[in-house]
Amino acid sequence: GQNIDQPTEMTATEGAIVQINCTYQTSGFNGLFWYQQHAGEAPTFLSYNVLDGLEEKGRFSSFLSRSKGYSYLLLKELQMKDSASYLCAVSDSNYQLIWGAGTKLIIKP
């Protein structure tokens, strides 16, 4: 079956760095997405990786290793507004998105 695993919850301190991991097993691979979802709101797009390596976008970076079925989202200089759930999703061989359950990130002052 298809499976996306990510930690349920993480806690970090304002100003610090946090890495959220995602491992996947899917039938085919057409890219991996990270989305941010604040409580009571819709998910919003953060990043997309289809080739191995690191993609940097401001304070956020996303890494992909297709051979290991592994990705991480790196958040630097954490701010209180980064408190949210972070969703990992893989586009499978049919371009359907398979979603992880999300990682709730709690930022403490």
Partner 1 sequence: NAGVTQTPKFQVLKTGQSMTLQCAQDMNHEYMSWYRQDPGMGLRLIHYSVGAGITDQGEVPNGYNVSRSTTEDFPLRLLSAAPSQTSVYFCASKGQPDSGNTIYFGEGSWLTVV
User: Which of 47/75 has CB closer to partner 1?
Assistant: 47
In three-state secondary structure terms, 102 is coil
Is the C-alpha dihedral spanning 51, 87, 47, 81 positive or negative? Answer: negative
In three-state secondary structure terms, 82 is helix
Write the interaction track for partner 1 spanning residues 44-83; mark x where CB under 8 A is met and - where it is not. xx--x-x---------------------------------
- Residue 20 touching partner 1 (CB under 8 A): no
Q: CA-to-CA distance for 67 and 62, rounded, in angstroms?
A: 16
User: Which of 74/97 has CB closer to partner 1?
Assistant: 97
Q: CA-to-CA distance for 103 and 106, rounded, in angstroms?
A: 10
Would you state the structure tokens that stand for residue 27, as one six-digit string?
A: 């039938």
The single residue among 20, 100, 103, 105 that binds partner 1, judged by CB under 8 A, is: 100
Q: Which residues contribute to the site for partner 1 (CB under 8 A)?
A: 4, 8, 30-31, 33, 40-45, 48, 50, 87, 89, 91, 95-102
